[in-house]
Structure 1
Amino acid sequence: MSHPTIRGSLVALITPFHEDGSVNFEKLGELIDFHLAHETDALVILGTTGESSTMSHEEDDAVCEFTVKRVAGRIPVICGSGSNSTETMLEKSLSFERLGADGLLLITPYYNKTNEEGMYLHFKTVADAVKIPCILYNVPGRTGCSISEANVARLSKHPNIIGIKEASGNISYAAKIARYLSPDFAMYSGNDDMIVPMLSLGASGVISVLANIAPRETHKMVMDFLEGDVAAAREAQLRLLEVTNNLFIEVNPVPVKEALNLMGKAVGGYRLPLTRMSEAHRETLAASMRAAGFIH
């Protein structure tokens, strides 16, 4: 089946929590409205930045259902259904499809890892079972394993796999898999400090942490490049680089949640083992946000 390619800024949305650690749905609704009003091109929920690794399946379903209803078809909603267990990833994927998700983000099997054929079947099993499009997620720094170039070549031909979020930070690897891009298989930068370099290799956009605090700027950076204004895109990439780097001064999503709190968004804290960042890092982050005009 054919699925249109999403172009632009796809925000890797945080999950806001109350003080007791429960999901703050009122705040989630405010964040969704913020992105709808500031040119975000798609929402990617329940990924690394969404802290899904510490959430229950029931909470995941509730966040998916709420988000789909709040967005009401205005932009795509892509749900992270990944797991190191293929069966669990399948169950979550089918559940999100029933709840109205527009697409799925599928991560490599972390901890247990796998061999080449197991990696291929991990993704193929889900892509065969659902009707909504799937995006592969390659982030070896988190998972301890990577999708080989050969498997990207195989999976790019699956009619229900429409792209890959490439977050290895390895531009050589990105160039190799870029050879398999087509109208039916897109690449998205998974690193905010490499948006323009990835676009230069043929990426269609970014799945972005930065877009949580700078949705309009991130959208514009991508669209400027795609529409031919490379100089403007490069200027934005470099101008926002210090803030981008400081959003990863500690493990994601700790800094970006702190950044949103500094902006007055009141998104709450984290679930253990994540916890509040050091005061020194908080000051470094705040200084770069002030310099970039995000806070006063």
Structure 2
Amino acid sequence: MKRQQTLITGSIVALVTPLLPTSNDVDWDGLKRLVDWHIEAGTDAIVAVGTSGESSTLSMDEHKQVIKAVVDHSAGRIPIIAGTGANSTHEALELTSQAKEAGADACLLVTPYYNKPTQEGLFQHFKTIADSVDIPQILYNVPGRTACDLLPETVLRLAEVENIVGIKEATGDLDRARQLIDSCPQGFAIYSGDDMTAAELILMGGHGDISVTANVAPELMAQLCRVALEGDAEQARTLNARLDALHNAMFVESNPIPVKWALLEMGRIPAGIRLPLTVLSAEQQPVVRAELQKLGLV
């Protein structure tokens, strides 16, 4: 079975999309600065326009433009995974095709949200896209957001499709992660989508973490993933203990509300965020600020 020539591993940041505070237009210069910062900090790969990138609030044109901007500015310095999932198979096909044309290294496709397809519907959705667009594709299972759970037996069926190369499993269920790691074919990547349990998933044989926390602590997350991939459980758990409260702080309100406010506090992005998302509440700002201060990030 054909797979990616080089498996993407390590700390993969689910990059935010910076927006200007008054117009709420994309901050293109700020986006480029974030890409440069992550490369300098040792982040292993970037997901452009995933959940943290406000995929749900960008227009189709903006979605494509942000992917192209990240690919172009990275200029081959770091792998770029394009978020191209949608609850319409037609729309996901269009985004995935455009990501391939833009030069993305792979695509990340979330399970179709809201319409609650069957497992057979999920299989046919992902297989149709994989058969139609020749680019490595990573499944993304996050039932807490989508009301749709891609079950392990369906993942195993999809793992036989030539260019479906991995899954971002964001349930935080390590028993499920173990089942996938043990059952999926060699070369099929299992990524954590849950920062709190990512170190343990990697130590079990997973391949990396598609991370929210890496937006604000890229060096620490890169180090954590590296030592976990090396099998250094003691060091990985020590680093994770340092980051644990920050992981939790990134979810005191719906992602990407806390992470965008944290980056604003760090001086990395402006204050823009689009409705129905709102700026982090005054009650939660001290919680996030305290964790940034503990780690010397502000």
TM-score by length of structure 1 reads 0.97
3-state SS in 2 of match to 1:54: coil
Residue 255 of structure 1: how far off its partner (Å)? 0.4
Q: Is the 8 A contact 1:178 1:202 kept in 2?
A: yes
Q: Is the 8 A contact 1:156 1:180 kept in 2?
A: no
Question: Structure 1 residue aligned with 2:7, among 5, 11, 24?
Answer: 5
Residue 216 of structure 1: how far off its partner (Å)? 1.2
Question: Structure 1 residue aligned with 2:244, among 241, 246, 271?
Answer: 241
Q: Is the 8 A contact 1:5 1:183 kept in 2?
A: no
Q: Determine the C-alpha separation between the residues in 1 that align with 2:18 and 2:195.
A: 21
Matched residue, 1:208: 211
Instruction: Give 1:1-296 correspondences, 5 Å limit.
Output: 1-3=2-4, 4-19=6-21, 20-295=23-298
Aligned-residue sequence identity (percent) comes to 44
Residue 290 of structure 1: how far off its partner (Å)? 0.8
Q: Is the 8 A contact 2:85 2:92 kept in 1?
A: yes
Of 134-143 and 175-184, deviating more is: 175-184
* Number of residue pairs aligned between Structure 1 and Structure 2: 295
For structure 2, list consecutive stretches of 5 or more residues without a partner in the other structure.
Answer: none
Q: Determine the C-alpha separation between the residues in 1 that align with 2:39 and 2:245.
A: 26
Q: Determine the C-alpha separation between the residues in 1 that align with 2:297 and 2:185.
A: 37
Residue 181 of structure 1: how far off its partner (Å)? 3.4
Q: Determine the C-alpha separation between the residues in 2 that align with 1:31 and 1:44.
A: 12
3-state SS in 2 of match to 1:183: coil
3-state SS in 1 of match to 2:183: coil
3-state SS in 2 of match to 1:273: coil
Q: Determine the C-alpha separation between the residues in 2 that align with 1:214 and 1:204.
A: 19
Of 170-179 and 100-109, deviating more is: 170-179
- Code of the residue aligned with 2:231 in structure 1: it is G
3-state SS in 2 of match to 1:280: coil
Q: Which runs of 4+ in 1 moved over 3 A?
A: none
3-state SS in 2 of match to 1:179: helix
CA deviations over 1:92-129 (Å, ceiling 9, x no partner): 11111111111100111111111121110111011111
- Code of the residue aligned with 1:288 in structure 2: it is E
